[in-house]
Amino acid sequence: MKRVIVFGGGFAGLSASVYLSENNFEVTLLEASPKLGGRAYSLFNNSQNDIYDNGQHILMGCYEETIAFLKKINSINKLDIQESLSIPFVKRGGSIHRLDSGKYSYPLNLLFGFMNYKALSIKERFKVIDFFLDMLCCYSCDLKDKTVSEWLRCKKQSDNSIKAFWEILVVGALNTTIESASAEIFEEVLERIFLTGNKSTAILLSKVGLTQLYIEDAVQYITDRNAKINLSEKVLQIVMEGNVITGIITDRNAYTDFDYVVAAIPAFAFGKIKILSSQKFEFPDLRYSPIVNIHFWLKENPFKEEFYGLIDSKIHWVFNHGKHITLTTSSADILTKMNNEIIVDEFSSELEKYFPIFHREIIIDSKVVKEKRATFVPDAASNQLRKNFILSFENMFFAGDWINTGLPSTIESAVLSGKLAASNVITSLK
């Protein structure tokens, strides 16, 4: 049986470990922190006896690899899956405008959904539909090196349609502003969501915490197949002979008895690992963007929907978990420098402006979670860096949402990268 060392225990590392153990590889998974999950994990609020996630993650029907992964580890039943796209968008004052694709057949359902989205004027709705029709046919804009903002202006999208639709979509999917986001990457996202069938637009929300959703079942799956998991074990050195990895040195062990290595850590983390080789290696120097999540536990919960998108607000999404709600702000550089008490105060006020049913007096507890390197910024520069990244080792492959999957920094990209790394290991034996 061939032995593989996987280091990094987030979605990418767990995905690689699942697919490798399924194919009869002996896997040793090393994780530097005392927990698995990378940037997607659950926490526990002792005072409220409640689980909450470090950050809220929306999955979509177009996340084919993530869905396949969750099915494989027998976790798919922990998702609440929409039959078709339905998003309640909220304007200041409390008016709700629903983008709902309804029960029509695809793609008519999307056509009717956009035509009934009354946050936009009739003219703006036609312009959005025209945008998608143009994607199906041909481009009059060259997307290479263009930002999303430039693309939208090229397609005559109004300020209101940008605020009430495009900006929410861009910031939520790419975790950066329309002025920074790569139009080329956004085009791929739009194509996968809106132009690949009815199921692709459906939103999937976890009914449990992230740890319960995928970590626990992935651990069960790989340990049932004799994998070993070592937590709090940090890789310090990679030893090479020629083009072959011969040793992995951690702060606890030295590994030499292995056939392959899968490196499933962020690109910036390689700067902390010493590679003992005469060769010089350069990893993509990506810019990163934070996501801030504010969790409010409520005396009584007045919210009726599972989630809401907020139009032209510092709060991008509100998620309803029953005992508590989660407010999510992407591309949140300013918030990472703010005091948590100030954030709680400002976001309470913002929530009151959008939901007359909400009053800050019903908040009984709060938590602020700042993921400062939540995702890399998917701009034109990062797109090129990912495409140019090629390190050829005979027995080491890379996984992580940052490798060139053609997708932004998402769970889908991470899961896909782990599967690709495992496939490369398997293929190398043939």
Pairing of strands 26-30, 79-81: unpaired
Tell me which residue has tokens 């993530």.
66
274 and 414 in a common domain: yes
Is 185 part of a structural domain of the chain?
yes
DSSP string, 26-81: EEEEE-SSSSS-TT--EEEETTTTEEEESS---EETT-HHHHHHHHHTT-GGGEEE
Average pLDDT on 188-204 reads 90
**Same domain flag for 354 and 416:** no
pLDDT of residue 139: 61
| First CA to last CA distance, the chain | 15
- Is 174 in the same domain as 231? no
pLDDT in tens, 214-253: 999 999 999 999 999 999 999 999 999 989 999 999 999 9
Mean pLDDT of the 278-295 span:
92
Contact 425, 261 (CB under 8 A): no
- Decide if pLDDT at 86 tops 80: yes
What residues form DSSP beta bridges with 293? 328, 369
Query: For 156, left (φ over 0), alpha (ψ -120 to 50), or beta?
Result: left
Residues 174 and 254 in one domain: no
Of 384, 187, 415, the residue nearest 286 (C-alpha) = 384
DSSP state of 424: H
Residue 197 maps to which CATH number? 1.10.3110
How far is C-alpha 274 from the geometric centre of its chain's CA atoms? 29
CB-based burial label for 71 (10 Å; 0-12, 13-18, 19+) = exposed
- If asked whether residues 131 and 8 sit together in one domain, one would say no
Question: Do residue 315 and residue 335 come from a single domain?
Answer: yes
Does 221 or 391 have the greater pLDDT score?
221
247 within a domain of the structure (yes/no) = yes
Comparing C-alpha atoms, which of 375, 373, 318, 369 is closest to residue 348? 318
pLDDT tens readout for residues 106-160: 888 889 999 999 999 999 999 999 999 888 876 657 788 899 999 999 999 999 9
The domain of 123 spans 96-201
CB 106 within 8 A of CB 85: no
| 235 is a domain residue | yes
CA 31 vs. chain centroid, Å, equals 20
Residue 64 lies in a domain: no
Domain identity same for 179 and 228? no
**Residue at 218 is within a domain:** yes
Does pLDDT of 416 surpass 80?
yes
Domain end (from 177, 201, 225): 201
Give the C-alpha separation, 318 to 348, whole Å: 12
Strand partners, 330: 291
pLDDT for res 391 = 81
Whole-prediction pTM? 0.94
Residues 166, 296 within the same domain: no
Same domain, 265 and 388: yes
User: For residues 327, 332, 338 and 341, what is the CA-based torsion angle, rounded to 10 degrees?
Assistant: 0
Residue type, 70: L
Same domain, 268 and 293: no
Domain termination site, one of 351, 375, 399: 375
Number of domains in the chain: 3
d(CA 156, CA 229): 53
| CATH number assigned to the domain comprising residue 358 | 3.90.660.10
Residue 302 shares a structural domain with residue 271: no
Residues 269 and 308 in one domain: no
Q: Among 375, 392, 419, where does a domain finish? A: 375
